[in-house]
Amino acid sequence: MERIGRIIKSISGFYDVIDDESEELIRTRARGNFRKRKIKPLVGDKVSYDATGDLGYILEILPRENSLVRPPIANIDQAIVVTSAAEPNFSSNLLDKILVNIEHNSIEPVVYLTKSDLLTTEKYQELQKIMQGYREAGYQVFDDQEAYNDDQLDRLEKTFADKVTVFTGQSGAGKSTLLNHIDKELGLATAEISQVLNRGKHTTRQVSLFNIADGLVADTPGFSSIDLMDITPEELPTLFPEFLEYSGECQFRGCRHVNEPNCKVKEELAEGKIMHSRYDDYLYFLNEINSYKKRY
């Protein structure tokens, strides 16, 4: 009998599927013709499967909303972007690059600030103003000075319901620490992996989805692709939500918001409605994307 479920774990050619209706866990294998068709099921895939015997078989992978290569995972709804205030210092350029990548993958980003307790009150207040700019740009932001306080963690967990969530951010920002505060099992897996890597052994990273706060959370600290290779100059302006808000009022359709006359985005920038750091990063990324095109 054909059933529908979601892959929550893959291990050595077996796929653990949670059934949509019964919520039971079924171990399955992919049909042989998947390999011939060069199709590989991913954690997060919605699949139709047959579970008549002890072992189920995946019959078909349902259309994906999105997928990532690192980590190999599909149908992600939201990404928690863990950003440190200090050690390493806050970088709007890096944060914006990650946000652009997430928007490009049709994933909802959430910004989570860590290590603000290392800042002076004055520096923290300056950074809060910047974070307010991200809120006004349309992002959900968690920026309490005490990053892992229970109230903030509860509010973060409320965003997990009915979603598949991954974590990302610069190395050293505290992704594993945050995962640890959310669920010890997630953090422990990360710590063990680091120890194995530090001993110089090569290890394959298996991604699993854990059920937390009525949602599914990937046990991996984020995806590592932070170049802009797949983004075109035409797409880039659409990946800044605050540009999208005003671009309909620009004189030209497909306005790049650089030298065009009567550009509403530049008018709003001049009036302080758009953060200068975001616009500067946009120009920087546009330049980077154009330089890729020249190179190839």
CA distance 49 to 97: 38
Tens digits of per-residue pLDDT, 8-39?
999 988 999 999 999 999 999 998 888 888 88
CA distance 170 to 100: 14
181 lies in the same domain as 138: yes
Q: Which of 120, 163, 169 is nearest to 145 (CA)?
A: 120
SS3 221: coil
Per-residue pLDDT at 109 exceeds 80 = yes
186 lies in the same domain as 257: no
| Residue numbers of the domain that contains 80 | 73-218
Percent of the chain scoring above 90 in pLDDT: 73
146 lies in the same domain as 174: yes
Handedness of CA 243, 249, 254, 256 (dihedral sign): negative
189 lies in the same domain as 243: no
Per-residue pLDDT at 199 exceeds 70 = no
Q: Which of 101, 114, 110, 100 is nearest to 79 (CA)?
A: 110
SS3 281: helix
CATH number at residue 109: 3.40.50.300
Binding site membership for Zn(2+): which residues?
250, 255, 257, 263
Number of structural domains the chain divides into: 3
pLDDT at 151: 97
Binding site membership for GTP: which residues?
114-117, 169-177
pLDDT at 203: 41
Residue 228 included in any domain: no
Residue 29 included in any domain: yes
Residue 133 included in any domain: yes
pTM here? 0.89
Instruction: Provide the edge-to-edge strand list for the sheet that holds 108-114.
Output: 140-142, 108-114, 78-84, 164-169, 215-218, 209-212
165 lies in the same domain as 87: yes
Q: Which of 78-87, 92-101, 149-158, 164-173 has the least mean pLDDT?
A: 164-173
Torsion of CA 49, 42, 195, 80, to 10 degrees: -110
Contacts of 112 (CB under 8 A, 6+ apart): 80, 81, 82, 83, 141, 142, 147, 156, 169, 178
Binding site membership: which residues?
114-117, 169-177, 250, 255, 257, 263
34 lies in the same domain as 98: no
Residue 282 included in any domain: yes
208 lies in the same domain as 81: yes
Tokens of 240: 């800044």
Residue 231 included in any domain: no
Residue 269 included in any domain: yes
CA distance 95 to 101: 10
Residue 120 included in any domain: yes
142 lies in the same domain as 167: yes
pLDDT at 35: 86
∠ CA(176), CA(179), CA(181), 5° rounding? Answer: 110
Tens digits of per-residue pLDDT, 240-255?
999 999 999 999 999 9
CATH number at residue 251: 1.10.40.50
SS3 166: strand
39 lies in the same domain as 125: no
79 lies in the same domain as 202: yes
Domain boundary among 16, 31, 63: 63
Domain boundary among 15, 31, 63: 63
Residue 230 included in any domain: no
CATH number at residue 14: 2.40.50.140
Tens digits of per-residue pLDDT, 145-195?
999 999 999 999 999 999 999 998 888 888 888 998 998 777 655 555 555
pLDDT at 48: 97
115 lies in the same domain as 182: yes
Alpha-carbon distance values, 256 to 44, 66, 284 (Å): 35, 26, 13
Q: Which of 74-78, 118-122, 173-177, 244-248 has the least mean pLDDT?
A: 173-177
